[in-house]
Structure 1
Amino acid sequence: MEFYTYTLPNGIRGIHRQVKGSVAHCALVIDAGSRDEHPDEYGLAHFTEHAFFKGTRRRRAWQVNCRLENLGGELNAFTTKEDTTIHATKLRGDFAKAAELIADIAFRSTFPERELEREKEVIADEINTYKDSPADMIYDTFEDLLFAGSELGHNILGRKAALARYDGDAIRAFTARTHTTDRMVFSSIGNIAPRTAEAVARRYFAAEEASQRGFRRAAPAYTAPFAKEVARHTHQTHCIIGNRACAIGDEDRLPLALVTNILGGPSANSLLNTVIREKHGLSYNIEASYTPYTDTGIVAIYFSSDHDNAGRCIALIEEQLYRLRTEPLTARRLSMAKKQFIAQLAISSESNESYMLGAGKSLLLHDDVDTMEQVYAKIREISAEQLTEVAGKVFTNMSRLVYK
C-alpha cells in the first residue's frame, strides 16, 4: 500500500508514505489562504504564516527557529490563495521533534506584539521586492481582473497600509475562523513505520480541541474577457494571455494540464518556446501554466520581449492556440507528449518533499490520493479529441494584460 491514512479524534486527517532513506519530511496543510480573508483582512493569511514563527507558550522566537536548525533540519511555511502549509525536513530520528514543533506553532503561538511589529518591516520589504518585479506583479494584476469581485482576485501579500493595522487579536480571530481541525491534514514521508507516524501525530495533534469550518467559499462570478494595457515604463513589455479554467476536481483537469504542457511547459520543445524563442528569437522568457483551484482555475501564457516584438509574439501565440483548438494531434505527436508529461511527473515525484506536500493537499481536498501509477494510467487514456475539446473550451475568448 503506497499511502497509509488515519483520522484523529478531533478531525485532523493524516497521510504517511514509508520510503527508504535517512531524511524525513512532514507538514501540516491547512485549508485556509488569502481567499478566506474578509475585505478588511487582505494580507492577513500571509502575515499569520510569518507570525507562527514569533514565539509560543513554551518557546521564544529564537527557540522556534533554532529547534530543528540546530539538528541540521529545516522549518518553513508558505501561503497560497487556498491553503497555508507549515513543513519540516529533518533526519528520520528527529521526526517526533519536528511534529511536536509544528503542533506547537500551529496551536500555541502567542503572537507577541513586539515581534509582530518587527516582522511587519520584513513583510513590507517583501512587498517592495515584489513591486520591483513586473514579471511577478503582472500575474496578480491579471488574476485581480480575471476574478474581479472575488476573494481569489487580490494578491497574497496585501498592502503595507493594511499590514500596519494587524495585531495579535486580528490573527487569533482569523485563525479561529479559518484554521479548523476538520480542514487540516498532517502529511509525512520517510523511513518510519506507518503506525509509528500515526502514533507521533496522535501524541502531538490529537489534544487540540475539535473545530469545524463555519463558512463556505463563494464561487467567483462571471467576468467578461478583457484586453488591457498598463503603463509601467519597464525596459521590456510583459504580457499575460489567459482564461479561467478547470477546477481541481474537474474531469478535464488532466487533459488541460497535458495540453498546457504541450503549449508552453518547461521543456525546450514546447510549442511556444520552439516558435517564439528558437525559430524567431523574439523572447527569452515564455511559458504557459495551469493552476487549479477548488471551484475554478486559471491558464496563463506569459512572455516578456522588446516593446517592438510584443505584437508579433501575441500573433504567434494566437496561431498556436488556434491550431490546438482545431487540429487534433497525430498519434505519434500525442504519444510523445504523453511520455514527456509522465516523465516530468515521475522526475518531480522523486522529490520526497514535493510528493509529501502534494499527497497532503490531495487528501485535504478529495479525501483520497491517486498513486502515481493511477495518474500515469489516466494520462495514457487521454485522446487527441479530448485535447482539442478542452483547448476549444479554455483557449477561446482569452483575456490579455500588457505592461509597457
Structure 2
Amino acid sequence: MEFITYTLPNGIRCILKQVKSAVVHCALTVNTGSRDELPGEYGMAHLVEHTLFKGTQRRKAWQVNCRLENMGGELNAYTTKEETVVHATTLRGDYAKAVELIADIVFRSTFPEHEVEKEKNVIFDEINLYKDSPTDRIYDEFEDRIFDGSSLGHNILGSKATLRRMHSEDIRRFVARTYTTDQMVFSLIGNLSEKAFRTVADRWFGGIPASQRAFGRTVHPAPEPFCHSVGRGTHQVHCMKGKRAYDLKDDRRLPLMLLMNTLGGPSANSLLNVLLREKNALSYSVEATYTPFTDSGVASIYFSCEKENASRCIELMDRQLGELAEHVLSPRRLSVAKRQFLGQLAISAENNESYMLGAAKSYLVFGDVDGFGEAKEKIEALDGETLRTVAEEIFTGMSALIYK
C-alpha cells in the first residue's frame, strides 16, 4: 500500500507515505483560501497565514520562529485560492517537535494586535513587489476578469485599504468560521512506522474539538469572451489568453493537463516554445497552464515579447491552437507527449515535500490518492480524439488581456 490513511474522531484526516530518508516532511492542509473570504475580508486568508507565526498561548513569535530552525529544520506556510498549508521539514529525530509546533500555531495562535499591525506592513511590501512584476500581476488580473463576480475572482493578497481595516478579532472570527476539523488533512512523508504516525497524530491533533463547516462554495457563470488592453508602461508587451476550464473532478481534467503540457509546459520542445522562441526568436518567455479548482478551473497561455512582435506572436499562437482543435495529434506525437508527461510526474515525485503536499490536496478533495501506477494507466489510455475534442472546447472563444 503506497499510502496509509485514517481519520481522527474529530474529522481530521491523516495520510502517511513511508520512505527511507533521514528527513521528514509534514503538513496540515486546511481547505480554506481566498475564495472563502466574505466581502470586506479580501486578503484575510493570507493575513491569517502570516499571523499564525506571531505567537500562541504557549510561545512568543520568536519562539515559534526558532523552534525548528535552531535544529536545522524549516517551518513555512502558503495560501492559495482554496487552501492554506502549514508545513515543516526536519531530521527524522525531530519530527514530533514539528508536528506539535504545527498544531500549536494552527489551533492556539493568539494573533496579538501589535503583531498583526506589523505584519500588515510586510504584506504591503509584498503587494508593492507584486505590482512591480507584470508577469505575476497579469495572471491575477486575468483570473479576476475570468471569475468576475465569483469568490474566485479576487486577488489573494487583498488591497492595502481592506487590510488596514482588519484587526485581531476579525482574524479570530475568520479562523473560527473556516478552520473546521472536517476540512483538514494532516500529511507526513518519511521513515516512520504506522504506529509512530498514529501516535503523534492522535497526541497533537486528536484532542482538538470537532467542528464542521457551515457554508458552501459557489461559482458564477463565465463572462462573455473579452479582449482588454491595459497601459502599464512596461518595456515589453505581456499577453494572456485563456478560458474557464474543468474542475478537479471532471474526467476531462487529465487530457487537458496533457494537452497544456504539450502546448506550453516546462520542456524546451513544447509546441509554443519551439514556435515562438526556437523557430522565430520572438519571445523569451511563453507558457501554458491549467489550474483546476473544486468547482471550476482556468486554462491560460502567457507570453511576453517586444511590442513590435506582439501581433505576430498572437497570430502564430492562434494558428497553433487552431491546429490542435482541428487535427488529431499523430500517434508519434501523442506517444512522445505521454512519455514526457509521465517522466515529469515521476521526477516531481522524487521531491518528497512536493509529493506529500500534492497527496494531501488529493486526499482532501477526493478522499483518495492515485499512486504513480494508477496515474500512468489513465494517461496511457488517453487517445488523440479525446485531446482534440478538449482542445476544440477550450481553445475556442478564449479571452485575452494585454499589458502594453
Common fold by TM > 0.5 = yes
1:39, CA displacement in angstroms?
1.1
> Which stretches of structure 1, 4 residues or more, deviate above 6 A after TM superposition?
none
Q: Which residue of 2 aligns with 1:89?
A: 89
1:146, CA displacement in angstroms?
0.4
Q: Does 1:167 align with 2:153?
A: no
**How is 1:108-127 mapped onto 2 (pairs within 5 angstroms)?**
108-127=108-127
CA distance in 2, matches of 1:20, 1:220: 46
**After superposition, what is the alpha-carbon deviation per residue over 1:349-389, rounded to whole angstroms, capped at 9, x for unaligned?**
10000010001010101111111110011000000011001
CA distance in 1, matches of 2:342, 2:37: 36
Cα RMSD after superposing both structures? 0.6
Kindly indicate whether the alpha-carbon contact (under 8 Å) linking 1:36 and 1:217 is maintained by their aligned counterparts in 2: yes
CA distance in 1, matches of 2:248, 2:66: 37
**After superposition, what is the alpha-carbon deviation per residue over 1:42-90, rounded to whole angstroms, capped at 9, x for unaligned?**
0000000001000000000000000000110000000000000000000
1:165, CA displacement in angstroms?
1.1
Q: Does 1:144 align with 2:144?
A: yes
Amino acid at match of 2:340: Q
Q: Does 1:306 align with 2:294?
A: no
Q: Which residue of 2 aligns with 1:316?
A: 316
**How is 1:234-313 mapped onto 2 (pairs within 5 angstroms)?**
234-313=234-313
User: What TM-score does the superposition give when structure 2 sets the normalisation length?
Assistant: 0.99
SS in 2 for 1:308: helix
Kindly indicate whether the alpha-carbon contact (under 8 Å) linking 1:152 and 1:220 is maintained by their aligned counterparts in 2: no
1:195, CA displacement in angstroms?
2.0
Q: Which runs of 5+ in 2 are unaligned?
A: none
Q: Which runs of 5+ in 1 are unaligned?
A: none
CA distance in 2, matches of 1:380, 1:199: 39
CA distance in 2, matches of 1:368, 1:195: 21
1:393, CA displacement in angstroms?
1.1
Kindly indicate whether the alpha-carbon contact (under 8 Å) linking 2:152 and 2:219 is maintained by their aligned counterparts in 1: no
**After superposition, what is the alpha-carbon deviation per residue over 1:177-210, rounded to whole angstroms, capped at 9, x for unaligned?**
1110000000100000122112101100111110
What is the aligned residue count? 404
**After superposition, what is the alpha-carbon deviation per residue over 1:288-343, rounded to whole angstroms, capped at 9, x for unaligned?**
00000001111110000011101110111101100100110111111111000000
SS in 2 for 1:215: coil
CA distance in 2, matches of 1:18, 1:379: 25
CA distance in 2, matches of 1:169, 1:9: 29
CA distance in 1, matches of 2:186, 2:18: 14
Q: Does 1:9 align with 2:18?
A: no
CA distance in 2, matches of 1:94, 1:324: 51
CA distance in 1, matches of 2:222, 2:248: 18
SS in 1 for 2:40: helix
Q: Sequence identity, in percent?
A: 61
Amino acid at match of 2:373: E
SS in 1 for 2:78: strand
Q: Which residue of 2 aligns with 1:391?
A: 391
SS in 2 for 1:41: coil
1:151, CA displacement in angstroms?
1.1
**After superposition, what is the alpha-carbon deviation per residue over 1:238-266, rounded to whole angstroms, capped at 9, x for unaligned?**
01000011101110111000000110000
**How is 1:68-217 mapped onto 2 (pairs within 5 angstroms)?**
68-217=68-217
SS in 2 for 1:301: strand
Q: Which residue of 2 aligns with 1:53?
A: 53
Amino acid at match of 2:343: A
CA distance in 2, matches of 1:60, 1:205: 21
CA distance in 2, matches of 1:357, 1:32: 15
Amino acid at match of 2:89: T
CA distance in 2, matches of 1:30, 1:248: 17
Amino acid at match of 1:269: N
Kindly indicate whether the alpha-carbon contact (under 8 Å) linking 1:51 and 1:119 is maintained by their aligned counterparts in 2: yes
SS in 2 for 1:77: strand
Amino acid at match of 1:88: A
Q: Which residue of 2 aligns with 1:222?
A: 222
Kindly indicate whether the alpha-carbon contact (under 8 Å) linking 1:17 and 1:194 is maintained by their aligned counterparts in 2: no
CA distance in 2, matches of 1:222, 1:361: 25
